[in-house]
Structure 1
Amino acid sequence: MDELDLIRDRAETVGFAPAGHLAPARERLLAAARGERRHRPHRWFWIAGASIGLAAAITAVVALAPADQVGIGTGVAHADPVKVLTAAASAVLKEPVKPPRPDQFLYVKTESPDHHVREVWFSVDGTRDGLIGTTKIGGCRDGKAPNYGTNDPRKEGMLEDCAPRPVYRTDLPTTADGMLAYLNARVSDRKGEVNSISKDVYSLADEQVLQPASYAALFAAAAKVPGAQALDHVTDGAGRPGVGITWRDFPGSTPGSKPFVLVFDATTYQFLGTPDSAVTVKTYVDQVGQRP
């Protein structure tokens, strides 16, 4: 690897600082280089030392600026929303995959800024009774589901017609274009389509499970929705810092309306939730009420 390759490698890793922050570090770099040349015992040592010193100096240069000006860590500044969503799609495909058993339950724990905790247990195949907090959810078996949590005690447990709603989704598109068409079809009759799409992206990523290809397609499709913006210094509902993605000025919006924000880890691009609700645990368990 030559010096230019080294620069490219380090630059891609940590990014560049603004020009105004570079001059002092450049002077220190040149002074260090002049000093090394005066004292080098062998040329091979200078080459190796210069390369190592150059890498360190590059890191020092970008480190001069605060994180929110460099584009690293928790304060990603001026982030490209398309790149963030594309990186989120790529990150999903790198996660280990183990499909659940049909008789298992998806357990999701979310937290809000007021420290409220929400826990749900959803049937993987949709046929078993689940829970939202302490409220039972009827599973659909043989076209019938028990009715729970009604205002009329006489209807409690009565069977109603139903169709199973698996929480493990194997029916969704696996390409960005296919997923975008799916999302557009869901909001075709809703006002403020872009904002509605962002909420649908959240609902699919929040308390449902998609196959990896579909999960990646979800974020890749979101990257194709016009008007995306990145927000710096955003935290999710649990206070975890990240980069926010939103769509402002959507059709039907009113001045001062609050945009819906999706929060991603600024380093791993893992989906974290929203500023109002953080997904802190998401896994499979064998029984309703069981915690990992």
Structure 2
Amino acid sequence: MDELQLIADRTGSVPLAESGALGAARARLMAEIAAAETENVVPLRKRRRGVWVGAGAVGLAAAVTAVVALAPVEQAGLQPPTAAADPVTVLRNAAAAALKSPAAPPRPDQFLYTKTKEPNGERESWLSADGTHDGLIKLANGSSFPLPGCRNGRAQVYRDDEPLDGVMEPCTPSPGYRADLPTDADAMFAYLNANHSGHDGDFNAMGKDVLALANESYLSPATRAALFGAAAKVPGLRAIDHTQDAAGRPGVGITWPLGPRDDAKVAKPVVIVFAADTFLYLGTNSTAVTASGVVDGVGQRP
């Protein structure tokens, strides 16, 4: 049975995982703690972490995530954050939290607004829900550039922020609302493998794809849960007990394994961060989603 469906069936009345189900994970954690005490090794959160190189600047500038208020972890039927050292537990808790978030899908003519905090400041973006309307990205330095909608297979060509008169290019709509994605973890994992951005077996590249979907798209609760459930199937994940996103909000973090072509000595780690109490997705240690919502037009804010 798909783990995500099991979560959906059970989280309303019982904890996400019983102590027996997490026995192996706890045993691994306790063994590592014992080894640290006896061998005087560096604590887990200070060790050299696997590296996940994040999505490009334009993609991160256009980050879109539904920011919702979640019940305390105990009320949501989640495993308390004492098990945060197990990355699979963290991601399954995030999936369970996503399933309980309210759904408010946008209309085709609406826009997905987001504000992100990054090292160089705050950015705002307005993405067309159906990909056919003209959106906008506003950079931290005050400049902006358009996101032309794709209508009848053609999109306006711009030079900087000015449209070139009569110059169009072929296109395919890129909707901000991804209603086409799977709603269970197994199907989502298959989708990510079939549509990966890197080489076969490059789970670091899959991590980028997971981040792009979590940030840049409006996903239904079931689809967002499936995304985190699929991420939990990646081998070699690591959890960081105490970290924070780019806005300084504390949480638990997940890092992806290195890609086959990554150099651990020079690559900069990117950590996906969830709130420690609710497992709400916050962003990463380099880009934090601080506000988002659905609006009727470019320039509006929720």
Larger RCO (CA under 8 A, 6+ residues apart): 2
Which among 97, 121, 126 is matched to residue 126 of structure 2? 121
Structure with higher helix content: 1
Check conservation: 1:191, 1:251, Cα contact below 8 A: no
Q: Structure 1: how far apart are the matches of 2:137 and 2:84?
A: 38
The residue aligned with 1:175 is: 184
Does residue 1:261 correspond to 2:264, yes or no?
Answer: no
Does residue 1:83 correspond to 2:92, yes or no?
Answer: no
Deviations along 1:121-179, one digit per CA (max 9) or x if unpaired, are 0010111100011211111112211112449x783662212121111001111111111
Deviations along 1:234-262, one digit per CA (max 9) or x if unpaired, are 11011111111012344222232333321
Q: Name the TM-score, length of structure 1 as normaliser.
A: 0.70
- Equivalent position amino acid for 2:92 in 1: T
Q: Superposed, which structure 2 residues align to 1:199-210 within 5 Å?
A: 199-210=208-219
The residue aligned with 1:185 is: 194
Does residue 1:96 correspond to 2:106, yes or no?
Answer: no
Structure 2 residues without counterparts, runs of 5 or longer:
1-14, 20-25, 31-78, 139-143
Bigger Rg, structure 1 or 2 = 1
Number of equivalent positions:
223
After superposing the two structures, state which structure 1 stretch, 246-255 or 171-180, moved more: 246-255
Regions of 4+ moved over 6 Å: none
Check conservation: 1:136, 1:149, Cα contact below 8 A: no
Q: Structure 2: how far apart are the matches of 1:88 and 1:145?
A: 37
- Secondary structure at 2:211's aligned position in 1? helix
Check conservation: 2:84, 2:252, Cα contact below 8 A: no
Does residue 1:212 correspond to 2:221, yes or no?
Answer: yes
Q: Structure 1: how far apart are the matches of 2:197 and 2:171?
A: 25
Q: Superposed, which structure 2 residues align to 1:27-66 within 5 Å?
A: none
- Equivalent position amino acid for 2:285 in 1: P
Q: Structure 2: how far apart are the matches of 1:154 and 1:281?
A: 29
Which among 154, 162, 177 is matched to residue 171 of structure 2? 162
Distance change in 2, residues 1:154/1:259 (3 Å)? closer
- Secondary structure at 2:158's aligned position in 1? coil
Q: Superposed, which structure 2 residues align to 1:120-139 within 5 Å?
A: 120-133=125-138, 134-139=144-149
**Structure 1 residue 194 displacement after superposition:** 1.1
The residue aligned with 1:148 is: 158
Check conservation: 1:195, 1:259, Cα contact below 8 A: no
Q: Structure 1: how far apart are the matches of 2:298 and 2:190?
A: 35
- Equivalent position amino acid for 1:131 in 2: L
Identity across the alignment (%):
54
Deviations along 1:190-236, one digit per CA (max 9) or x if unpaired, are 27711111111110010211122111100000000001110122110
- Secondary structure at 1:119's aligned position in 2? strand
Does residue 1:110 correspond to 2:123, yes or no?
Answer: no
Which among 196, 201, 211 is matched to residue 205 of structure 2? 196
Check conservation: 1:150, 1:156, Cα contact below 8 A: no
